[in-house]
Each structure stands twice: as C-alpha cells, then as structure tokens.
Structure 1
C-alpha cells in the first residue's frame, strides 16, 4: 500500500509558474468523469441484464434449450458509448446464445434458423428482431433518453476433437473447455463454423483484473454509492460487474479515444483495429504490474510498452529482441504481426495487420495521439490548449456534456487539431 502523503503528492503535482497553477489531479479527475459518463449506468446495466435473461427464459420455455451470457465489453466491464458523434447514443451489447449440444449436432445455417424462428414467432420479440450476417439484434426502448440493443450471436459447444487440438497449442489449456462454435458467413453467402471462446477470455481477463479490482474496491464502491444513492441502499448492493479498476478505465479511455480518432480519418473504418486488440494488449501489459497504480500511471505505462513494440516496424525482429527484449503481447517474428488470443491459440488478432500495412501504421500513430491528448496535455499551462486536447480525444460534444465550458477561453480558442488525412497508401511517412 502506498504512503498516503506520497500518493497525494504524486496525484496533485501542483506546480506554480508565475501566478498560474497547474492542477494535474483535477485534470485527471475531469478525464475520468468523462469516461464515467460514457460507461453504462447502473439502471441501464440492470435493465439489460433483466432483458437478456428474459430472452433466455423465453427460448427455454418455448422448446429451445439455450444459455445466454454476455461477451465482449459488457462481459469484462469496459463498455463505452459507440457513437462518437452523439454522447447520448444507444449502447450496443453483445451476447452469446449457446444452445444445448455441440457443433456436430447442427449445421451453422440450421442453428441460425432455429433461433431466428423462435424469436420471430414471438409477439414480444418478433416485431423488434433485425437479422444480420453475424447476429440477430433486438432494439429496446430508451429510459431517460438512453437505450440499448442486444446483439444475439448463435453458438454451440465446440466438439471434443477440436478442443483436444486447441489444448495442445494453448498456453492456457484450462480455458479451452469453454470453447464454442459460431456461424460465420463466408464469401458464398452461406455459413461455416468459427471457433470462439468468450467465456474463456473473460476468465483470463478477470484473473489479471482481480488484483486491480481489489486494490481500488473500497474507494470505488464508496464513491460509486455516493453518486447512486437513489439506486442502491448500501454499498453491498452494488453488483460486482459494475466495479471498475484502473485497468478497466484504461481500456475504456483507449477504446473511446480510438473511436474518435478513427472516425476522423478518411479511411478510418478500413484501418481501425478491433477492440479485442485493446483488451488483450492492455491486460497483458498490466499483468504483473503494481495493482495499486493510478489510472493515468497505468495508461502511461501501457503506452510506453506499446511505443517500444512500435519499434518492430523498422527493426528486424532479432535486432528488436537484442535492443528491447521479447514482448509477448505484440510481436513481429518472421515479418508477421502477432497478437495471440489467450483463449484461442488459432486466433491471431493481428491477422489483418499482415494483409494491410496501413493498419499497424495508423495504430502506432494513434497511440502517439493518445499520449499527446491525455498524458502530455496534463502539464500544459494554457487551459484552453488542455480543453482542445480533450476535445481531440473525446469529441467536443462529449466533453461539453460533462465539463460544460470549463477550461474554455472564447477569446483565444485554438482550432482543434484535425487528424491528418494522408494520401493513400501512407502519405508522408
């Protein structure tokens, strides 16, 4: 445990320059207040949980034995609003609908048909159901202006033969038992099986996040309770899934900043990395790090490690190893980028990086923007410059919705720093 006086001294970092005082701690609090605003509310979390459990009950009551459970950001507690243009946009929440049996008991197309038939025949769900190649979506009415949709991904248990093969390859063989198969649309517009393992991934992530949760648990739940007294009668009523550690906050910061940055790129949708990459890299880097670290110390540490990984763009892998040592979170051995999925050894999350060199190029450029907007800006003297950095990172509407006119100086407001729209394929390197 840190000495409290040392913690306060490190957190505040108030420095006098002439008559101006930079309160780094206050700026950090304001950034965290923005992320808290983008997180799912306790009311919406409760509503979404009730809705997906009701869906599972409906399917089981109507002859389809199935288990529904969250995957992705809702599962690991890193939800942020998806629409950077609108700070009041609805949330997209992902769920697995795993039927009884293995993939050997169904064809992927038949599995989709079974679930679609049950949902579409319902008076409650049929009129709301939208069908997409990856999932089925049900949109729910908003509460206090904010709503959510549930994306339902059909799944069956992975078969024994494939599990055996995966265990032999996996660094975490104990995770493989939870492997599933989901239907994936191929180029012929029919479906094949794809191995997935969201339960295993959550187990892996939770094992890394647990000490970070424990380190901040008391402070977080007391502050959270004070802000939500109308919802919870005591701190004991707060669900564990609503706790947020420094690691989870770092991931949320990175995800939303990424959404804003790539939205402003001309070709952003083509080169934007999948969010699973952020989850894996941040968690792997944080693994073994001091769990009592602050959000911004951890953010700076993660960015520092990834800036080292970025050197692999220019160095041969053997030279990179000699200079910096091995980085298992992100490697480029044999000229191929690799970000291994801890719950599926056959899934390289950086596979697209090896097909399109613009993707890693923009990724590492984005990380520099994160540092500039959210680390370096903490110590700039001009408050308007700090405000502009926040708007670059989170969007003007989002910042204004939380901070109002704080840090604004209308008489000398600098123009927001536009993301450079480089010429294809790279512009000026």
Structure 2
C-alpha cells in the first residue's frame, strides 16, 4: 500500500481509538462542573481550574475494549493566592472543598484527590503558583504526601507543557484546527481540543494504543508522558498520520539521553524534571521501552509498507492494534476511497493508487453499471 493510502488508513485508525464526541462532551460537562464548584468556594480564594494530560493535549484514547467507560480526567486546581502557603494547607483545603461537592471523594493520594464522577475517574491536583523554582509564570508548586504523613513541595508546568506540545504540532495543527472550526461552525477560539486531530496528535494516540496492546497485563509499559514527549521532539511537520509515525519512530531514540548509565528524558518546560528517572532505579523499564520501540517500528511501519493485500494488512493491524479497531478503520478507509473515486480524486501511478495527483498520473474512472 502506498504511503498516501496509509496516511488515510492510519488517520481512520486514530479515529477508531479516539474518544467519541458524545463522551468528550460528557467529560467536558463533568470537569467544568467540578471547576465551577472549586471556583465558587471562597475558602480557596481565587482559583484556576484546568485539565492536564491527554485531555488537554487532545490525545485521549479509548480503553482496549473500545468501550466508552472509565476514563481518567486529570484536573489542576491552582490556588492563586496560596503561593506562600504550606503544602499541607493547599492539599487539605482542596480536599475539604471536594468532599463538600462529592461525599464519596476517596482518601487522598500522594499528590491528588480522586473520586468517581459519572463514568469518569477524576484526579484533582491541588497546587499554587511557583514563585521560587521557575521563572515561567505558568509553573506550579504542587504538594507531595510523604510516607510519614508530612507534606513537601514538588513542581510542574502542565500549561507550559501543553503550549510546547501544540507548538511542536506545527502548521498541520493549525490547519486541522481551522478545518474543525469550519466543520462545527465556530470561531477558532471556541474549537474544543478533542475535535482537533493533527498528525502529531493522531500519531501519539496510535503509539499509546499500540503500547497498551503490547503491554496488556504488565506493569513495565513505557509511560504516556515519555511517548508523548519523545514523539513531539521527533516530529517534523509531516502532513499525514502514517508519515508522522514513520518519521517519529525513526528518530525517537535520538532524544533518549544515557550518560554513564544514567537515563534522562528532560521535561521540555522544566529542566529539573527527568521523565526517565524510574529507568535508573528499574533498568527493566528502559529495556521495555526499547523493546516497544522496535516492535512499533516493525508493526506500524515496516510490515505495513511491505504487506501485500488489504486482507493481510487488516489481519496484521488487528493483531497489534486490536481487531475491532482495525475493522473499523478499514471500513472507514474503504468508504473514503469510494467517495474519492466517485469524485475523481483518486489517481493511478506506478506506486499504486493515491489520493494526490502527481506528474503523469491518471484519474481512476468511477465504476458504473454501464462499464464507464
């Protein structure tokens, strides 16, 4: 299959593993409800409540089952007036507010408060602005509960990371955002993040889903922040989803540093944070990442390019991406090719059928019952 057609197919594959619009709308309503409660709680002072993680980046994927169930939503509750407050005060104040909102708020985790809201598993991260660790005005100071029950400061910058990731998505992201704006008839500022599907975002979705299939039932899977960060660093503004994956996987390991046996994958917006710190304590995690990278190159690029026949390719993608997901992608892929053929948008060349016309290529005629 040509890379042109693989771009179409992989875009459909990303759609098949994406959260549905209905579930995304429900998620948005749910976390905005929590946000309004926290904003209205005067005991917290001024707050800024926002998403982080895959919901903020537009890279949410469904569970392997393919069902819309039990999604994790990561929220940040930044207490803007608490920059000098003790870590314990910040953590407990947000926890008290959440218990007033949901009586079933679970016991606190190391950094978050967790509760179930509708079909969503919400983690709320209490924090304040960081006024000592980083000069970036989007940086935050969060709380960490130690084994002895005391609290200490930790630091992060989810807003800064999102801005960095979107910048890495480049011009293709802006094109996808403009297309989404036209489709749903709203301004660019009103476009929901989940409706923007750029090549980088879709590539990250496919890579995470491939990871989930490969490491199902194991606890040494490469974490999403590592896959997302390395993918963004390796992306070179490829226009298609398959081309993006091919380029990313060929360059990804160049951004894993290892000096004197110490691994480092720096947070691009916080030089003090090393996403690969656990690799240095558990070398098997580093080995698992490199095993996954080799498998992803083989499954998603090499075999995809060299497999002859649609049925064999669907069978292969079913084995590494899930049969339900592969079947859905091929069904949508066939519909797209049929539509483009009927509109005279498919072209034949020595390399095969493609949706783009190049020099010397001829349009494939539409089939009719009259043989024309």
Pick from 248, 270, 280: which aligns with 1:354? 280
2:75 is equivalent to residue 98 of structure 1 = no
Question: Which residue does 2:117 correspond to in 1?
Answer: 140
Q: Which has the higher contact order (CA 8 A, sep 6+)?
A: 2
For 1:166-205, list aligned pairs within 5 A.
167=135, 176-205=136-165
Q: Judging changes above 3 Å, is the alpha-carbon distance between structure 1 residues 236 and 113 closer, same or farther for their aligned structure 2 residues?
A: closer
Q: What do the CA deviations read for 1:348-368 (whole angstroms, capped 9, x no partner)?
A: 111111122211212111112
Counterparts of residues 29-428 of structure 1 (less than 5 Å)? 29-63=8-42, 64-65=44-45, 66-81=47-62, 83-106=63-86, 108-122=87-101, 125-127=102-104, 129-133=105-109, 134-141=111-118, 147-160=119-132, 162-163=133-134, 167=135, 176-217=136-177, 225=183, 232=184, 239=191, 241=193, 242-263=195-216, 268-269=218-219, 271-286=220-235, 289=236, 291-306=237-252, 309=253, 327=254, 329-378=255-304, 379-400=306-327
Q: Deviations over 1:206-247 (max 9, x none)?
A: 22224221344555666xx3xxxxxx4568797152212111
Number of corresponding residues: 329
Q: Return the alpha-carbon distance in structure 1 between the equivalents of residues 179 and 39 of structure 2.
A: 40
SS, match of residue 88 in structure 1: coil
Aligned partners of 1:87 and 1:398 also within 8 Å = no
Does the CA contact (< 8 Å) of 1:216 and 1:292 recur in 2? no
How far, CA to CA, are the matches of 1:362 and 1:389 in structure 2? Answer: 22
Offset of residue 284 of structure 1 = 1.2
TM-score between the two structures when normalised by the length of structure 2 = 0.78
Deviation digits for residues 383-410 of structure 1, max 9, x if unmatched? 4442332123222344456657x99xxx
Q: Following the alignment from structure 1 to structure 2, what is the Cα–Cα distance between the partners of residues 400 and 298?
A: 22
- Distance of 1:156 and 1:218 partners within structure 2: 34
Task: Let me know the Cα RMSD of the aligned residues.
Answer: 2.8
Distance 2:190 2:80 in 1: 32
1:90-132 CA-to-partner distances (Å, cap 9, x unmatched) read 32111101112344312x333222112122123xx324x2334
Uncovered stretches (5+) of structure 2, i.e. residues with no partner: 335-372
List 4+ stretches of structure 1 deviating above 6 A.
234-238
